[in-house]
């Protein structure tokens, strides 16, 4: 049954939260191009994230800085004072191991307290770091992506949480006959010098302190502090160097945006991986700038893993909670069923955050309805448009908005160019430049030639519309990736981002995500992933079925078909003719989904071409839901 909309009930206010504002300047060119810009953020004395460690060690030394669950499932933490002490100890140890500006460190494992310390210590000592997706190191893979990253980074040492778990990966990237690279490990180190306990307890003697100070003083703005790799959601991962100059810009940007959250100490629960810019720059930087208590979430926005996030939310009441849009569909369902969870979550929450894709309106309304019922207020959803290449910065929506998909205006110090796209649907290609933007991909001159236009604006590859065509300063609406769009047989363009979002809204809460199909076909159709819990609640007899049986059950197919038949009769490019549910989740290994939760439409269509043939058969199979 469709949920009542917020429009049918009195609309409560948004929970107040102090957020900075800034001016947006707009200039229209004769060819229809729009230039939007915002003044830079005020300068701050800190040059990077690690400088805030010293500050918060003095201001709230006994307060927790980072926390994670241990092997027994209990929370373990490190205070700000202990963090600052260990950062300097580990920084000295890295220099003792011979690491430096031309001898980087590559990190193979995921988020942990030790990884936080290592990233900060390396930043302090002038050692470039390259955090890598742990998925690249999984046993049983051919390690092609890991080897590609290794060749770009050329590390002088590696870091892993558990040495044994990464043995195969370490062996795969060690050239035959070459000496084995030093591998720093929290557990299972093969050399005491490389054991984490040894690094973290390194004594900071006066002589070592002098060496560390010298290394710190030698850092130049053009030096590389971090190498991040694009998620591969639109192709092979590309190496993106982040300079210390970029980091200083990011630090001022985040300090301006997030400092209002700093008192009282904010609490964060975040799963975003630190090898990705959303987690490793934005979420990590926010925790450092605000002196927060950052809980590392061991859950993921995926069926079977989101339960861990829900368990963590029973323990942790965050100040702000950010995730991929897919997570909010699962969160809405949990909040509707669990009043205790809702009271815990909304007790101190001032905002949600999402990125990577648009949020379905039905999901937004359901969460707001629970918030209003629980605390009498709505909670603002904030979003932005950034990329690895922009170090997470770009546009930002600061004020609460009822317009979903509004990604805001250029953030402080950011310039945006909007180039009109062909067609009459008001779309623009968005490009960006500013001090936080990278200088170019590593070892990729051909890519760099096409990455920027002749005015050094970075090409996102994304489309936007104006929230208010009469006033560009009212914000931009995300309109999808340009490369994902395709034409039907009749030559009509299908805007995949728009159609996908409409389908998820129409079928909510039965679907978690979808792949839009129909290139050179007569109509649009979709492969989709089920919300298993929601499907099981359709009828008692569905409650115990496994996923493979559930997605083919006549009651499930009928429920989807009913929603498809309720679509308004629109043009062929907007009308979904058929939906086929898939039991197999999207595969990280096959590049179908990125760590950040973004579904690679092209990779899914290529890998599941056989299902697309079933989807478009003249006589549809019984498990294909049809609108007509």
The answer to whether residue 267 sits within a structural domain is no
pLDDT band at residue 234 under the 50/70/90 scheme: low
Tell me the C-alpha distance between 397 and 381, whole Å: 9
pLDDT tens across 307-340, in order? 999 999 999 999 999 998 889 989 999 999 999 9
The answer to whether residue 282 sits within a structural domain is no
- Stretch among 54-58, 242-246, 260-264, 424-428 having the lowest mean pLDDT: 424-428
Q: What is the dihedral of CA 447, 451, 452, 453, to 10 degrees?
A: 90
Tell me the C-alpha distance between 268 and 353, whole Å: 12
The answer to whether residue 151 sits within a structural domain is yes
CATH number at residue 195: 3.40.50.12780
pLDDT tens across 57-90, in order? 999 999 999 999 999 999 999 999 999 999 999 9
Sign (positive or negative) of CA dihedral 90, 95, 96, 97? positive
Tell me how far apart the 2 most distant CA atoms of the chain are, in Å: 80
How large a percentage of the chain has pLDDT more than 90? 80
Measured between alpha carbons, how far is residue 468 from residues 333, 464, 476, 485 in Å?
Answer: 32, 12, 8, 24
Tell me: pLDDT of 6 over 90.
no
Which range of residues forms the domain containing residue 144?
A: 50-250
pLDDT tens across 28-53, in order? 999 999 999 999 999 999 999 999 99
Most confident residue range from 165-179, 371-385, 395-409: 371-385
| Tokens, residue 86 | 């260990």
Question: According to the model, what pLDDT value does residue 481 have?
Answer: 87
* Distance separating the N- and C-terminal Cα atoms of the chain: 21
pLDDT tens across 584-609, in order? 999 887 888 877 777 889 889 999 99
For every residue of 40-99, DSSP letters joined together read PPPP-S--SSHHHHHHHHHHSTTSEEEEEE-TTS-EEEEEHHHHHHHHHHHHHHHHHTT-
Question: According to the model, what pLDDT value does residue 1 have?
Answer: 38
- Stretch among 58-67, 169-178, 346-355, 464-473 having the lowest mean pLDDT: 169-178
The answer to whether residue 339 sits within a structural domain is no
The crossing angle, in degrees rounded to 10, of helices 554-565 and 496-507 is 120
Question: According to the model, what pLDDT value does residue 35 have?
Answer: 98
Strands (E), 311-379: 320-323, 351-354
SS3 406: strand
The answer to whether residue 24 sits within a structural domain is no
The answer to whether residue 290 sits within a structural domain is no
Tell me the C-alpha distance between 46 and 196, whole Å: 28
Tell me the C-alpha distance between 7 and 32, whole Å: 36
pLDDT band at residue 616 under the 50/70/90 scheme: very high
Tell me the C-alpha distance between 247 and 245, whole Å: 5
How many separate domains does the chain show?
A: 2
The answer to whether residue 23 sits within a structural domain is no
Of 215, 250, 285, the one marking the end of a domain is: 250
Question: According to the model, what pLDDT value does residue 600 have?
Answer: 87
CATH number at residue 604: 3.30.300.30
Compute how many other C-beta atoms are within 10 angstroms of the C-beta atom of residue 348. 14
Burial class (CB in 10 A: 0-12, 13-18, 19+), 74: exposed
pLDDT band at residue 181 under the 50/70/90 scheme: very high
Of 250, 281, 305, the one marking the end of a domain is: 250
Average pLDDT, the chain: 93
Tell me the C-alpha distance between 116 and 105, whole Å: 14
Question: According to the model, what pLDDT value does residue 233 have?
Answer: 54
Of 194, 225, 250, the one marking the end of a domain is: 250
Measured between alpha carbons, how far is residue 9 from residues 4, 181, 376, 404 in Å?
Answer: 9, 63, 13, 19
The answer to whether residue 21 sits within a structural domain is no
Question: According to the model, what pLDDT value does residue 500 have?
Answer: 93
Tell me: pLDDT of 487 over 80.
yes
């Amino acid at each position: 049954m469709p949920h009542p909309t917020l429009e049918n009930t009195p609309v409560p206010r948004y929970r107040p939260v102090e957020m900075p504002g800034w001016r947006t300047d707009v200039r229209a060119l004769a060819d229809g191009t729009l230039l939007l810009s915002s003044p830079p953020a005020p300068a701050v004395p800190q040059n990077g994230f690690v400088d805030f460690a010293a500050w918060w060690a003095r201001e709230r030394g006994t307060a927790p800085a980072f926390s994670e669950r241990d092997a027994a499932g209990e929370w373990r933490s490190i205070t700000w004072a202990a963090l600052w002490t260990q950062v300097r100890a580990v920084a000295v140890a890295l220099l003792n191991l011979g690491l430096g500006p031309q001898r980087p460190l590559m990190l193979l494992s995921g988020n942990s307290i030790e990884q936080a310390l290592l990233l900060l210590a390396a930043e302090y000592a002038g050692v470039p770091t390259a955090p890598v997706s742990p998925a690249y190191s999984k046993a049983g893979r051919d390690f092609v992506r890991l080897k590609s990253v290794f060749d770009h980074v050329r590390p002088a040492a590696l870091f892993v949480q558990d040495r044994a778990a990464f043995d195969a990966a370490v062996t795969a990237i060690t050239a035959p006959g070459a000496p084995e690279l030093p591998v720093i490990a929290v557990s299972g180190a093969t050399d005491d010098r490389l054991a984490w306990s040894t690094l973290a307890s390194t004594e900071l003697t006066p002589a070592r302190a002098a060496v560390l100070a010298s290394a710190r003083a030698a850092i130049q703005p053009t030096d590389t502090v971090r190498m991040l790799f694009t998620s591969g959601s639109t192709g092979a991962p590309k190496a993106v160097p982040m300079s210390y100059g970029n980091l200083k810009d990011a630090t001022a940007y985040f300090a301006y945006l997030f400092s209002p959250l700093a008192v009282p100490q904010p609490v964060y629960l975040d799963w975003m991986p630190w090898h990705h810019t959303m987690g490793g720059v934005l979420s990590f930087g926010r925790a450092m700038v605000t002196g927060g208590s950052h809980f590392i979430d061991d859950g993921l926005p995926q069926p079977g893993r989101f339960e861990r996030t829900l368990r963590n939310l029973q323990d942790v009441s965050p100040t702000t909670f950010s995730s991929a849009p897919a997570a909010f569909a699962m969160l809405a369902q949990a909040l509707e069923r669990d009043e205790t969870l809702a009271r815990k979550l909304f007790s101190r929450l001032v905002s949600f955050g999402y990125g990577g894709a648009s949020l379905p309106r039905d999901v937004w309304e359901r969460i707001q309805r629970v918030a209003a019922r629980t605390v009498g207020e709505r909670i603002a959803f904030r979003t932005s448009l950034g990329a690895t290449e922009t170090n997470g910065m770009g546009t930002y929506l600061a004020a609460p908005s009822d317009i979903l998909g509004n990604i805001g205006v250029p953030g402080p110090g950011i310039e945006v160019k909007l180039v009109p796209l062909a067609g009459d649907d008001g779309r623009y290609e968005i490009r960006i430049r500013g001090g936080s933007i990278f200088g170019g991909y590593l070892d990729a001159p051909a890519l760099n030639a096409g990455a920027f236009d002749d005015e050094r604006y970075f090409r996102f590859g994304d489309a936007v519309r104006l929230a208010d065509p009469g006033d560009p300063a009212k914000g931009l609406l995300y309109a999808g990736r340009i490369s994902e769009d395709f034409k039907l047989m009749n030559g009509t363009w299908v805007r995949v981002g728009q159609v996908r979002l409409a389908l998820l809204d129409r079928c909510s809460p039965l679907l978690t995500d979808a792949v839009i199909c129909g290139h050179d076909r007569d109509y649009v159709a979709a492969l989709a992933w089920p919300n298993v819990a929601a499907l099981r609640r359709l009828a008692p007899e569905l409650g115990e079925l496994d996923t493979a049986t559930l997605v083919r059950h006549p009651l499930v197919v009928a429920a989807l078909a009913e929603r498809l038949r309720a679509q308004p009769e629109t043009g062929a490019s907007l009308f979904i003719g058929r939906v086929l549910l898939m039991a197999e989740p999207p595969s990280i290994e096959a590049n179908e989904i990125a760590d950040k939760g973004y579904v690679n439409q092209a990779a899914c269509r290529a890998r599941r071409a056989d299902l697309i043939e079933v989807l478009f058969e003249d006589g549809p199979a019984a498990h294909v839901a049809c609108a007509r």
